[in-house]
Amino acid sequence: MTNTITLSTSGVTPEDVIAVARHGAKVELDPSAREHIQSVRQHVEDLASNPTPVYGVSTGFGALADTSIPQEKRQDLQRSLIRSHAAGTGPEVEREVIRALMFLRARTLATGHTGVRPVVVETMLALLNAGITPIVHEYGSLGCSGDLAPLSHCAIVLLGEGRARGADGEERPVPELLDEAGIEPIALEEKEGLALINGTDGMLGMLLMALADLRELVKAADIATSLTVQGLRGRDTVFGPELHMPLRPHPGQADSAANVFALLKDSPIVADVLAEGSRVQDAYSLRCHPQVAGGVRDTMTHAAMVAERELASAVDNPVVLSDGTITSNGNFHGAPVAYVLDFLAVVAADLASICERRTDRMLDKARSHGLPPFLAEDPGTDSGFMIVQYTQAALVAEMKRAAVPASADSIPSSAMQEDHVSLGWHAARKLRVSVENLRRVVAIEILTAARAIDMRAPLKPSDAGAAVVAKLRETVEGPGRDRFMAPDIEAAVQLLKDGDLVAAAEGVAGELK
């Protein structure tokens, strides 16, 4: 992984954002970008000295846009903007989200379309490189006019105010943190306060991280399906390539089917089922997995396209055009990002739902084709995985609630000047919950399917399935009498988060799509 990322006028990649947000990569400003930022700044300073009012430079904000601000009060204007807008409340937002938000705002500032001085960008990068993380709260953004409150809680730290945590995670006075890192607080000049807070950076950062997580989770769901097919003595024929791209050319469906087909290769359990020939077809939750997981993949492809376009954008209001003109616009509206955040929550919930249905089927002696009730060692005395499925169902229920779109709502603000908002921040926050819940749902299916496969002995699973079960068994015991289940669930979740189960499968079946 790259240790240092160079921020230029040409933008950054999703991988850059993940590296900074999650892995602490350092960021430096390209010298040519610094020169460009400085040259654009001159246009702002020229307009600031002009008697004609310019929004964000010599006027108030929002519903106060028609209020002209005299020269001697403009530093106060910028400082007051940040102080008043740092009005979030509720639980603290995760460190990785805040780092992504700051990096993406610095990226926009580096385009030169915001009109700030280079020192503003450099100070933001200095915070990131020092590991100083402003404290940002859950509530405060309406997803329009930018993620105002979250970005303001970051911007106020540049002024030497607000609240922040050091690289060790401990909260300390901001002046102390800045002094220790050799960072000088800045006094904002015309346009700079608004430029620091008028962007979709929070929701975009969360979208990029959600996509990174979901790419691994759809692979994990394919692995879970392959294990469940074997645990339930299912068939592999429905995953054959001739049934997908030639007949229904959805790319995601073909990829998912190919994954499951490869993971089931040479399975003795499947071979025994086909030789027995007692069942013509399996239940929908097995047979239709590629159609569901494929739809998730195709939705992710669309969401990634939106994210890439947003990464290439310079979101600010007003914006400095290439000819030096400063003009108002509506590019800060988060609708495009909000829509796909909501869409991803919908498909994540449906993927979790089909996983839960497969898990439940393995626990029901009437539908599990020979497995003991709830996979219990001594049914009646033991409850087996009965309540494990309850936990999985509770996770799915939460995801279904989170699938209700935030972007379908709007609450007007700023004395009706800002009368339609995206609520994209809300869409992003609930998607984070959905992604984490999906990881737990898939982990529980894998736990259950591994136990079911073990109970099919002496029949064995495919080599890929055996590799996944073996990796799981390094930290989670196999079938036996009832025991404390919560640690087993957490161990499986961690194996998914670390990528170990996917790696075990790919070590045998090859790279999954």
Query: Does residue 398 share a domain with residue 368?
Result: yes
Cα separation, 466 vs 505, in Å, equals: 9
In-domain check, residue 113: yes
Query: Does residue 137 share a domain with residue 256?
Result: no
Query: Does residue 90 share a domain with residue 24?
Result: yes
Could you give the number of structural domains in the chain? 2
134 strand-pairing partners: 164
**Last residue of some domain: 172, 199, 226?**
199
Please give the residue range of the domain that contains residue 52: 4-199
Q: Which residues contact 201 (CB under 8 A, 6 or more apart)?
A: 100, 101, 102, 104, 105, 108, 146, 147, 151, 315
Handedness of CA 231, 233, 237, 238 (dihedral sign): negative
**Catalytic residue ranges:** 55
In-domain check, residue 187: yes
Cα separation, 196 vs 200, in Å, equals: 11
**Measured between alpha carbons, how far is residue 397 from residues 12, 30, 494 in Å?**
37, 48, 22
Core vs surface per residue 254-268: b (16+ CB within 10 A) or e: bbbbbbbbbbbbebe
In-domain check, residue 401: yes
Query: Does residue 414 share a domain with residue 466?
Result: yes
In-domain check, residue 475: yes
The tokens describing 367, both together, are 């539908």
Query: Does residue 142 share a domain with residue 71?
Result: yes
Let me know the angle formed at the C-alpha of 239 by 237 and 242, rounded to the nearest 5 degrees.
85
CATH number where 62 lies: 1.10.275.10
**Last residue of some domain: 174, 199, 224?**
199
Query: Does residue 53 share a domain with residue 111?
Result: yes
165 strand-pairing partners: 133, 171
Per-residue pLDDT of the chain (513 residues; tens, 9 = 90+): 458 999 998 889 999 999 999 999 999 999 999 999 999 998 888 877 777 777 767 777 666 667 777 777 878 888 999 999 999 999 999 999 999 999 999 999 999 899 999 999 999 999 999 999 999 999 999 988 779 999 999 999 999 999 999 999 999 999 999 999 999 999 999 889 989 998 899 999 999 999 999 999 999 999 999 999 999 999 999 999 999 999 999 999 999 999 999 999 999 999 999 998 877 899 999 999 999 999 999 999 999 999 999 999 988 888 888 888 888 888 888 899 999 999 999 999 999 999 999 999 999 999 999 999 999 999 999 999 999 999 999 999 999 999 999 999 888 887 787 888 889 999 999 999 999 999 999 999 999 999 999 999 999 999 999 999 999 999 999 999 999 999 999 999 999 999 999 999 999 999 999
In-domain check, residue 243: yes
Residue with tokens 């001085």: 117
Query: Does residue 158 share a domain with residue 246?
Result: no
In-domain check, residue 457: yes
